[in-house]
Chain A
Amino acid sequence: MANVSFHVNGEVRSVELDTRTTLLDALREHLLLTGSKKGCDHGQCGACTVIVDGRRIYSCLTLAVMHEGSEITTIEGLGQPGDLHPMQAAFVRHDGYQCGYCTPGQICASVAMLEEIRAGMPSHVTADLNVAPQLTAEEIRERMSGNICRCGAYSNIIDAITEVAA
């Protein structure tokens, strides 16, 4: 067992857990923040995506004990019913989901992804590495390839992200 303290959605949370506990399981099972979803549990689907110290990561592929002092934002921290994050509202408006299971990961990933573009980070489809990347559908598709939607809501997801980015 080990103790770890981190900030989750702005609150200090201290938990005692088995060293094997992933960040995802710590969030879901220990802190009862069940918005982050366990899809594949192997970093292949993106449903567990959260934002840690400003960066999107797969919470299933990192240990909770490795995040002492980290600032963690989950879907619950982005917005709540009645006070939605603009990305959450855009997903609703554009019907960017069907079953909804991948949606928390899609939204956390897309919020952090737009920051990556704003910071000028290139992607695989950026034509010129020495010029700031443009906010195009092609860029968004490539940058969101780590989030799978089994219902195939991709076109509406792109519309939602594009609206928020504009």
Chain B
Amino acid sequence: MRAFTYERVRTPAQAAAAAALTPGAKFIAGGTNLLDLMKLQIETPSHLIDVNGIGLDEIEPTNDGGLRIGALVRNTDLASDARVRRDYGVLARALLAGATGQLRNKATTAGNLLQRTRCAYFYDTAQPCNKRQPGTGCSAIGGVTRQLAVIGSSEACIATHPSDMAVAMRALDAVVETITPAGTARNIPIADFHRLPGDTPHIETVLEDGEFITAVTLPSPLGGRQFYRKVRDRASYAFALVSVAAVVQPDGTGRVALGGVAHKPWRVEAAETDLPRGAKPAMAAILDGARPTHDNAFKVTLAERALAAVLVEARS
């Protein structure tokens, strides 16, 4: 691990200001992903701003019947919250499908959104990676691609976003609240928060330098039946090959977002009109334009079958 200086801050405004003051600074909350990457010298911050003393660890009702989740709410607490379990089952299920008890006890809501890809080539510092070292090339393309993206990828990067939580939030139309170093608050729809790789895969979100996430808000509950079906290589503690977050209404309409297939949670609202006709037409529309590799073409079929299983369960 490279040496760094360290400070603790007490307010979101202090956090954003401290980040603006020190180039190369990073916020640290749970730290479970950041420290892993620092040990490998994939992340090399010169300064860490510890935001664990900042508060923002409450889940509060909003005026329009939704929930406001503080940025520092731990994944365990979010998944265990009675309101989340009752009204946002897709989110509780997604959280519980991710990581392990030990990691969920540390991982925060904002940190989960900001975690980096688990692409093996991003982790292998002996190989070129446009995300790790912009302009060096993508070793994954033409390499072992079984885990990697099938849609929305580019010639520069075929990594996936690893979060389960974010996929559920995408289905729920969550909004990310931030404060900029200048002190301005802004609200970013989750659909716009993560970027596709394009030719700048190292830029993963629309956050500005030093911009600090304060909360994620959920709109009022959607009702219906809610599912998070995650398909992976082992029954627990593995990243998704494919995951399906779905909210299905009694009339068969609903929402679907996918994990494990793209550089961001993948949702195509226009495709959801096909949902009452079944998984095949709906998934064909959701994954229209997919460019899988030889190794991961199975994900297209797997996504359709995972959605089919969800729709069967929804009718049961």
Interface residues of A (CB under 8 A from B): 2, 18-20, 22, 41-43, 46, 49, 55-58, 61-63, 65-66, 68, 109, 112-113, 116, 119-124, 126, 129-130, 141-143, 145-146
Size of chain B's interface in residues, with CB distance under 8 A? 37
Taking a contact as CB atoms under 8 Å apart, the answer to whether A49 and B35 are in contact is: no
Residues of A within 8 A of B39 (CB): 41-42
Taking a contact as CB atoms under 8 Å apart, the answer to whether B97 and A124 are in contact is: yes
Taking a contact as CB atoms under 8 Å apart, the answer to whether B31 and A124 are in contact is: no
Taking a contact as CB atoms under 8 Å apart, the answer to whether B4 and A20 are in contact is: yes
Task: Determine the distance from Cα of A129 to Cα of B48 in the docked complex, in whole angstroms.
Answer: 37
Taking a contact as CB atoms under 8 Å apart, the answer to whether B101 and A129 are in contact is: no
Task: Please choose the segment from B88-96, B171-179, B256-264, B274-282 that sits at the chain A interface, where 4 or more of its residues have CB less than 8 A away.
Answer: B88-96
Return the chain B residue nearest A141 by Cβ: B236
Given contacts A66-B31, A121-B80, contact A58 B103 (CB under 8 A): yes
Q: Does B316 contact A (CB under 8 A)?
A: no
Taking a contact as CB atoms under 8 Å apart, the answer to whether A63 and B35 are in contact is: yes
Residues of A within 8 A of B86 (CB): 129-130
Interface residues of B (CB under 8 A from A): 1, 3-6, 8, 28, 30-32, 35-36, 39, 48, 50, 52, 76, 79-80, 82, 85-86, 89, 92-93, 96-97, 99-103, 105-106, 235-237
Contact partner of B101 (CB less than 8 A), chosen from A18, A61, A120, A143, is A143
Taking a contact as CB atoms under 8 Å apart, the answer to whether B6 and A124 are in contact is: no
Residues of A within 8 A of B5 (CB): 19
Q: Nearest chain A CB to B111's CB is how many angstroms away? A: 12
Return the chain B residue nearest A142 by Cβ: B236
Beyond A18-B3, A20-B1, 18 extra complex contacts between A and B, CB < 8 Å: A43-B36, A46-B100, A49-B102, A57-B102, A57-B106, A61-B35, A63-B35, A63-B48, A65-B50, A109-B101, A116-B101, A120-B80, A121-B80, A122-B92, A122-B96, A124-B236, A130-B86, A143-B101
> What are 6 pairs between A and B in contact, CB < 8 Å?
A42-B39, A43-B103, A55-B105, A62-B35, A122-B80, A143-B101
Given contacts A121-B76, A145-B237, A146-B237, contact A22 B101 (CB under 8 A): no
Residues of A within 8 A of B32 (CB): 43, 58, 61-62
Residues of A within 8 A of B82 (CB): 130
